[in-house]
Structure 1
Amino acid sequence: MNIYTKTGDKGKTRIIGKKVLAKDDDRIEAYGSVDELNSDVGLAISLLGEKTNSLHDELEEIQQLLFDAGHDLAMLADDQNHPFIFDPASITWLEKKIDQYMKVVPPIKKFILPGGTRLASTLHIARTVTRRVERRIVALQSHSKINPDVLVFINRLSDYFFACARYANFLDHQSDVVYRNSHTIFR
């Protein structure tokens, strides 16, 4: 099997359902950004250590869910042969994880600098990439019907990465650094 199709040689790519789009189409930008985010999560997994290895299975699950989200973004909503596959129960699962981690880490009232351990720093990068993914999906949604659960999941995922980065620092006994000019934000 060849992994190259040569369609991209002319700046085009084929989405699920065989439709051909320009590589800079909003749909391609959206699911391509999801793919980039998935790679960031893979990097985070590679940085897990003895104290943070408990995050392995859930980060791998997020990679699976990102593939599902990418699938739904890589197809036209009216394609009868390829229904949406993203499971909205994943949103509730993420919310529980966020709540779980935020109960454990020290409370904050001000903005913190993204950083800490290598793992936490990578999770903060994943958080910011997730926000970009969200913007790409919103741009796509402005003119194309999408699975709305994907956008909700991505919005929640950035909160998850924030909570998970703080939790990773906590597990490795690394304190968050408060942004010195921050006013009280969180109450």
Structure 2
Amino acid sequence: MGNRLSRIYTRTGDTGETGLADGRRVAKNHPRIEAIGEVDTLNCQLGLLLAELDEAMANWPTLSELRDLLAPCQHRLFDLGGELAMPDYQALDETQITRLEQAIDRWNQELGPLEDFILPGGSRLIAQAHLCRSAARTAERRCLALHTDEPLRPVCLAYLNRLSDALFVAARLIARRQGRSEVLWQACGANRHG
């Protein structure tokens, strides 16, 4: 990936097309561009989560473990964007998935089994982790839509799936380490006030 941007605007996209690394021009709503865009959105949301974790670590230093796991994920998402933009480029491998799975297993031991459905909330940080989880699922769906027409490497889809899982467990772990109660879903009729 040796190219660097020397100009931000080129005017070549003003008609609704953009260029891929292999020289092809595609519509900005092409499934490949949709997938790249959703991976970028996830990366932006993850950046916000990491910034919030940095601030929260002053009061809850044990949150540093989450930051240590999630910070490299921004780089891996950028790698995934590169794979989507340059179909011959391959960056992700199974070690990144294994890393996420090991953290999920470790965190789940601390949390114990999930007995109720939970809603995003409890603190701004918890809600942001859930926003990231949701963005990961959207990115996964867009990549799957692309995969239907232009096959992607299985590791790309698996990485997004596992990152979403890790973000869900991270949201629960943040609640526990912040001493916040998780917001439990109440079925219709269970709460007459809502």
TM-score (norm 2): 0.86
1:107 paired residue among 108, 113, 121 = 113
Question: Secondary structure of 2:128's match?
Answer: helix
Q: Is the 8 A contact 1:86 1:149 kept in 2?
A: yes
Deviation at 1:56, TM superposition (A): 2.1
Q: How big is the shift at 1:137?
A: 0.8
Cα distance in 2, alignment partners of residues 71 and 175 from structure 1? 39
Amino acid at match of 2:11: K
Does residue 97 (structure 1) correspond to residue 108 (structure 2)? The answer is no
Q: Which runs of 5+ in 2 are unaligned?
A: 1-5, 189-194
Percent identity, aligned pairs only, is 40
Unaligned runs of 5+ in 1: 183-187
Are positions 1:69 and 2:75 aligned together?
Answer: no
Write the letter of the residue equivalent to 2:85.
A
- Where does residue 50 of structure 2 map in the other structure? 45
Q: Report the Cα distance in structure 2 between the residues aligned to 1:75 and 1:21, rounded to whole angstroms.
A: 13
CA distance in 2 between partners of 1:138 and 1:56 (Å): 28
Partner in structure 2 of residue 146 of structure 1: 152
| Match of residue 36, structure 2, among 23, 31, 35 | 31
Q: Which residue of 2 aligns with 1:174?
A: 180
- SS at structure 2 position matched to 1:8: coil
Hey, what does 2:191 align to over in structure 1?
A: none
Question: Hey, what's the Cα distance between the residues in 1 that align with 2:13 and 2:71?
Answer: 30
Q: Secondary structure at the match of 2:90?
A: coil
* 2:136 is the alignment partner of 1:130: yes
Aligned to 1:8: 13
Aligned length: 177
1:54 corresponds to 2:77 = no
TM-score normalized by structure 1? 0.89
The alpha-carbon deviation at position 106 of structure 1 amounts to 4.4
The secondary structure found in structure 2 opposite 1:164 is: helix
Q: 1:145 & 1:118 partners in 2: Cα distance?
A: 37
Structure 2 distance, partners of 1:126, 1:138, is 18
- Where do 4+ consecutive residues of structure 1 move more than 6 Å? none
Q: Give the counterpart letter for 1:61 in structure 2.
A: P
* C-alpha distance in 1 between matches for 2:171 and 2:161: 16
Quote how far apart the aligned CAs of 1:46 are.
1.0
